[in-house]
Amino acid sequence: MENILAVINHWDDAEVILAEAEKLRTRFHTGLEVLVPVHDQLGELSKYLNLQDFSQLQEEIVSAERNRLENLCAGKGYRLHVEWTTKVHATIVEKAQDYGAGLIVMMASHDPVLSALIHTPDDWHLFRDTPCPVLALVKDRKSCQQVIAAIDVLDNQEPQQQLTARLLDNAAAMAKVEDVPLAILSVVPDPALVYAGILNAPMSGDFLLDTIAAAKKKTQALVERLGINPEAIDVVTGRVEDVVSQRASQNNALLVIGNAANKGLKGLLIGNTAERILRSMKTDMLVVN
């Protein structure tokens, strides 16, 4: 990892984001870039201003944001960037690539469920397009006591297996720098819960037991191949987003999860597990694309 990119979208969150990014920079021995994307909200105003006045106003806003950032980071030697943008997520992705970022640290947005049905929040777009993992922080943070890597070990497709390996590598690295135990959690979906009201009985007992046993065996083989030594490997049944969110909350854990990057109609109708978890997350979450 060459650089960590700390993204400040709201000044109220700036100190928390910078503190976490600085901690990780020190422990990973990397550089730190700080980005303030200034969202263009002057669209309506541009109708009443000529080009020169509009450009001057834009420059004044960017200058004010830069001064605020420089005052906040005075004497710390971070590389600072303020960018005017019409698409915040696209600018973050572009700058992460430009800066060689190996990790993005930012505060997660918490759009209500109804608004999520109307539009896709910026951090969802970021999860789908980012070139590196994203550490999404929550406002009410607690000291990390554990890292939980939530994996889908039963998916045999090569892209999914590669994603799972990256996820576990990142989870192991975070557990090491946080000096906390690593747990691996695999959730086998139960159709009775996923399709409540359609099925009246849970998955067949023998089939469910066989599936859990296969998941445990595959997980053990995977961690041995990757040279990872988790404190616990747990395979359970349930609705994935409910189980992993509850486990992370109960254990004050950093949740590490992979994002399948569904896009287009599939992404709109089905979404991604990471995005569904984001709506109700109560602990920090590292999303690996």
Distance CA 15, CA 8 (A): 9
Give the count of domains, the chain. Answer: 2
Does 222 share its domain with 180? yes
Distance CA 4, CA 73 (A): 15
Q: Work out whether the CA dihedral 113, 264, 237, 226 comes out positive or negative.
A: negative
Kindly report which listed range (31-45, 48-62, 234-248) carries the lowest average pLDDT score: 48-62
Domain boundary among 137, 155, 187: 137
Among 146, 51, 36, residue whose Cα is nearest residue 92: 36
Residues 6+ apart with CB under 8 A from 160: 152, 258, 260
Does 155 share its domain with 278? yes
Asked if pLDDT for residue 36 goes beyond 70, the answer is yes
In which band, very low, low, confident or very high, does the pLDDT at 205 lie, cut at 50, 70 and 90? low
| Strand residues in 211-275 grouped as ranges (E) | 232-237, 253-258
Does 80 share its domain with 162? no
Does 12 share its domain with 93? yes
Does 283 share its domain with 150? yes
* Cα-based distances in Å from 128 to 28, 121, 212: 25, 11, 29
Does 147 share its domain with 285? yes
Domain boundary among 137, 158, 178: 137
Instruction: Write down the mean pLDDT value for the chain.
Output: 83
Does 127 share its domain with 153? no
Does 277 share its domain with 198? yes
Does 2 share its domain with 91? yes
Does 127 share its domain with 8? yes
Give the long-range contacts of residues 96-102, CB within 8 A, separation 24 or more: 96/5, 96/130, 96/131, 96/132, 97/131, 99/3, 99/5, 99/33, 100/2, 100/3, 101/2, 101/3, 101/4, 101/5, 101/33, 101/131, 101/132, 102/1, 102/2, 102/3, 102/4, 102/30, 102/132, 102/133
Domain boundary among 116, 137, 158: 137
Provide the domain limits for residue 278.
140-289
CATH number, residue 43: 3.40.50.620
The predicted-structure confidence for 102-115, as pLDDT tens digits, reads as follows: 999 999 875 544 44
The predicted-structure confidence for 68-125, as pLDDT tens digits, reads as follows: 999 999 999 999 999 999 888 999 999 999 999 999 999 987 554 444 444 455 666 7
How is residue 130 written in tokens?
A: 């980012």
Does 7 share its domain with 55? yes
pLDDT of residue 199: 47
Distance CA 21, CA 284 (A): 13
Does 198 share its domain with 261? yes
